[in-house]
Structure 1
Amino acid sequence: MDTPHNGGLPDGVVGTGRTTGVAESVIREMTREAIDRGAINLSQGIPDEDETPPEIKRAAKEAIDTDSQYTITWGLPELREAVSERYAEWKGIEYDPETEVTITNGTSEAIMSTMLALAGPGDEVIYFEPVYESYIPASQFAGANPIPLDMTEGLAPDYDALAQAAERARILVLNTPMNPTGKVFTREELERIEEIVFEHDLIVLTDEIYEHIVYTDDYVSPVEIGDLAERTVVCTGMSKTFSVTGWRIGFCLAPEYLSRELRKIHDYTSICAPTPFQRAGVEALSLPNSYYEELSDSYERRRDQLCSGLREAGLEPVEPDGAYYVMTRYPTDETDLEFCYRLIREAGVAPVPGSSFYTDPDAEADWVRFTFSRNESTIDEAIDRLLENRWW
C-alpha cells in the first residue's frame, strides 16, 4: 500500500530566517477590519478620491492609451528630469537624472531596495521609535539587525544613545516628518545627527514622503544639512503629496555610488514603475508652488479638527508638526489592540494600535494612531461616533 502523503504539503519548516517573526502589517489589518465592520477608516493613510488633482488624473487616463509598455528600468526620462529639477529647487541639491534619480514602485520599494542593497547579514540598522512599521521587516529581510532608539517621551533624540549605537552600525534611518508621531526633526537636531553620522561612517536612509505636509517653519530635509547629501538616500514619492497612494510611484535620490547599488535590486524586483502613472507624475511636478501651500494648509485645518474632536471625546492627542497622523493616549486598562478592536466594533471608527510602531512584538503601548487624511465631513462623522459611543 502506498504511504499516504500529508496533503501534498512539504515536511518541516517553510520559510527562512528572513521571514521568521515577521507578521502581516497591522495597519492593513485594521483597514480590512474597518471594511468588514463598516467602520470609518482612520487607520491607514488613505485620502478620499476627490483629494487627487484632476489634471493629473487626466494625464494618467490619457497615458493609458499611449504609454502602457515598460519604461527604462530607472524610470521615464521626462519624469527623472522633472524630479531632478524640482528637488534642486526644493532642497538645493542637484541630482543627475541619469545616474542619481530612480523611479520606484512607491516609497516602500525604494526603502526596501535601498536596505537590501546597502545592508547585509550582521550589519546593524538604527532607527527612532515609534517608527513606521516597514523599516523593521526591511532590516530583517536584508539580514541586518535592527537597533531601535526609543524617543516616545518628548520625541527628542538621545544623542548619547545614538553615538553608542553608531559605533557598530552601518545605516541610520530618518523619517521626517515622522510617521506615526508627526515629529519634524529640527535643523539643530539634524546638525548634531550629522556629526555622529560622519564620526561613525554611517549611510543615511531618509524617508521624506510627507515633505510637503508640514505645519512648522522648522522643517528642513536632512540633505540640506552640511555634507549629509553625500551619503544619503532620499526615499519619497507621489502617494501623499498628490493623494495617489494606489499609483505606487516613488522617487529615490542618491549619489551615483549609492544609486548604482540600489538600482540592482530595483531592476530585478520591479523592472519599472507603472508607466501611465509615471507619465502623470510629469504633470504633477508641473503644478505651481501654491498647490503645496494649499495642501499643507488643508491638512493643518484637518489636524486641528481631529485633535479638537479627540480631546472633546476624552482622549489625549499629541499634536503633530507634520504628516497626517495623530498619536493619542487613551485612559482605559485595555491593551492598545483590544481598544482598537473595541473602537471598531462599538464606535465604528478604526485606528491603529501604538504597539505596531515598536520593534518588540510584545510592546505595551497606551496610545493609538488616527489619520486625518480623510475629508472634513468624514472626520466630523468619526468624531460624532466617538462622542456617541464613548465607554472610556
Structure 2
Amino acid sequence: MTRIERGEVGSARVSGTRESVIREMTREAHRHDAINLSQGIPDESETPERVKEAAVEGIAESSQYTITWGLPALREAVAERYADWKGVHYDPEREVTITSGTSEAVVSSMLALCDPGDGVIYFEPTYESYIPATQFAEGRPLPIDITDGLAIEEGPLREAAAEASILVLNHPHNPTGTVFTPEELELVAEVAREEDLIVLTDEIYEHIVYADDYRSPVEVGDLAERTVVCTGLSKTYSVTGWRVGFALAPEPLSAELRKVHDYTSICAPTPFQHAGVEALSMPPGYYDELAASYRERRDLLCSGLREAGLDPVVPDGAYYVVARYPTDEADTAFAKRLVREAGVATVPGNSFYTETDDSGWVRFTFSRNEATIEDALSRLEAGRWW
C-alpha cells in the first residue's frame, strides 16, 4: 500500500485541524432546509445598489490582474477613509495591501510575522480561524479565556505576554459582540509596548457598533506603530462573497506580509476592487443607518430568544448573539438537533475554543433581514423541546 492509501498524508502544520464548523453548519442548513443563522451571510438586498452596479462596470472594464498589492485607486481610497475614520495615516503605496478577504490578511500576516514556537495570544471564545492560522505558522497558542466576564484582565494578559510575540485582537469581537473598553485597549497598548508584541487586529465589524465608547485599537497609544489592521468590504457593504480585504500596517510589517500575499493569492478579484472604490465613497449617513438597522435586528433576535427560553448575551458590536440553553446536551448535539427539529442553524460554541468539546452555548447571527429573523424565532418556538 502507498502512504496515500494508508492515509499517512498531511503535514504537521495541518494535523488535527478541523474544517470550519461555521461553514459546516451552513451545509447542515442547506441539507435540512433550515434558516441559516449560523454563518454571517447578509441577504442580497443589503448590498447598496450603486456598489453592485460598480462591480458590473468593473467586469466590463477589466478582468485581469491588478498590481499584486491592489488597485491603486482602491489603496488610495482605503488610506483616505482610514485617515478620516481613525486619524491614522497610511501610505497607500507601501502600507496598504488589498487581500483576498480579511481572513487572507490574517493568515498572510501570521505566516509572515510568526516564527515556529512564537507565542500567539488570542482571547477565547475566539473567531475560529485564528486557531488554525496559528498552527499553520507553527506558533504556540496562548489563549486567554474571557468567557465569564468578557473582559481583558491585566494579570492573565501580562502572564501570557511574557511568553508571546504576537497578540490577535478581534474588535468588535466575534462571536460575542463584545466591544472592549478604551481602558482595556490602553492596557493592551501598554503591555504590547513593554513586551514588544506585534498586534494583529481584525476590525471587520468596525462599522457595526452599538457602544458609545468604541475606539479602534490603532487610535489608542502607540498601537498603530506595531499593528497590522485586517479588515475589508465584506460586512460593512454586505459583500461577503467578493473577498476583498485590507491589510494596513507600517511599512516594515507590510513588506513582510506582502511576500506571503504575493505567492498565495496574487491579487484580490479585480472587478470587485473597482467596486470597492465606489463602496468607500458611501456618505457618512450610510454607516449610521447600517448600525441602526443591525441594532433593531439585534433587539428583535434577543427578545425572541428570551421568549423562546434561551439566555442571550446582548452584544455591543458585530451581528452575532451567543445564547445559553437550559438542557444537558453538548453544544454540538444541541445545534445539530436545532437544525433537524426546529429548522434553524446555529454554531456550537466549542468551535471558538482551542480545547473544549462543550461550551454550553450556541451562536446566532442577525445578519439576515427582520422577516427571516421573525421566521426563525417562530420556528424555534414551534420546535422547542427545552
TM-score under structure 1 length normalisation: 0.97
SS at match of 2:164: coil
CA contact (8 A) 2:124 2:147 kept: yes
Quick one: distance in 2 between partners of 1:205 and 1:327?
24
The residue identity in structure 2 corresponding to 1:366 is: G
SS at match of 1:331: coil
- What is aligned with 2:96? 101
Superposed CA offset, 1:284-317 (max 9, x none) = 0001000000000000000000000000000000
Shift of 1:120: 1.6
Cα gap change, 1:39 to 1:221, in 2 (>3 Å): same
Match of 1:367 among 352, 361, 375: 361
Quick one: distance in 2 between partners of 1:272 and 1:229?
25
Q: Does 1:41 align with 2:36?
A: yes
- What is aligned with 2:324? 329
Could you say what the CA RMSD is over the residues aligned between the two structures, in angstroms?
1.0
Quick one: distance in 2 between partners of 1:73 and 1:388?
52
- What is aligned with 2:378? 384
Quick one: distance in 2 between partners of 1:299 and 1:130?
22
Shift of 1:320: 0.2
Cα gap change, 1:83 to 1:35, in 2 (>3 Å): same
The residue identity in structure 1 corresponding to 2:262 is: D
Cα gap change, 1:161 to 1:78, in 2 (>3 Å): same
SS at match of 1:226: coil
Match of 1:235 among 230, 242, 246: 230
Q: Does 1:186 align with 2:181?
A: yes
SS at match of 2:158: helix
| Off by >4 Å, runs of 4+ in structure 1 | none
SS at match of 1:128: strand
Q: Does 1:110 align with 2:105?
A: yes
Shift of 1:11: 5.1
Quick one: distance in 1 between partners of 2:304 and 2:219?
36
CA contact (8 A) 2:200 2:227 kept: yes
SS at match of 1:62: helix
Q: Does 1:315 align with 2:275?
A: no
Quick one: distance in 1 between partners of 2:60 and 2:192?
47
- What is aligned with 1:263? 258
Cα gap change, 1:331 to 1:11, in 2 (>3 Å): closer
Matches within 5 A, 1:216-365: 216-360=211-355, 362-365=356-359
Shift of 1:16: 1.1
- What is aligned with 2:57? 62
Unmatched runs of 5 consecutive residues or more in structure 1: none
Shift of 1:275: 0.2
The residue identity in structure 2 corresponding to 1:380 is: E
The residue identity in structure 2 corresponding to 1:377 is: A
Superposed CA offset, 1:224-275 (max 9, x none) = 0011100000000000000000000001000000000000000000100000
Shift of 1:193: 1.3
- What is aligned with 2:115? 120
- What is aligned with 2:148? 153
- What is aligned with 1:86? 81
Quick one: distance in 1 between partners of 2:240 and 2:325?
29
Quick one: distance in 1 between partners of 2:249 and 2:61?
30
The residue identity in structure 2 corresponding to 1:17 is: A
SS at match of 2:97: strand
CA contact (8 A) 2:332 2:358 kept: no
- What is aligned with 1:199? 194
Matches within 5 A, 1:133-148: 133-148=128-143
SS at match of 2:317: coil
The residue identity in structure 2 corresponding to 1:117 is: A
SS at match of 2:89: coil
Quick one: distance in 1 between partners of 2:335 and 2:214?
32
Cα gap change, 1:10 to 1:341, in 2 (>3 Å): closer
Superposed CA offset, 1:106-150 (max 9, x none) = 000000000000002110100000000000000000010111000
The residue identity in structure 1 corresponding to 2:93 is: E
Quick one: distance in 2 between partners of 1:124 and 1:10?
36
SS at match of 1:326: strand
Q: Does 1:16 align with 2:11?
A: yes
Quick one: distance in 1 between partners of 2:139 and 2:4?
30
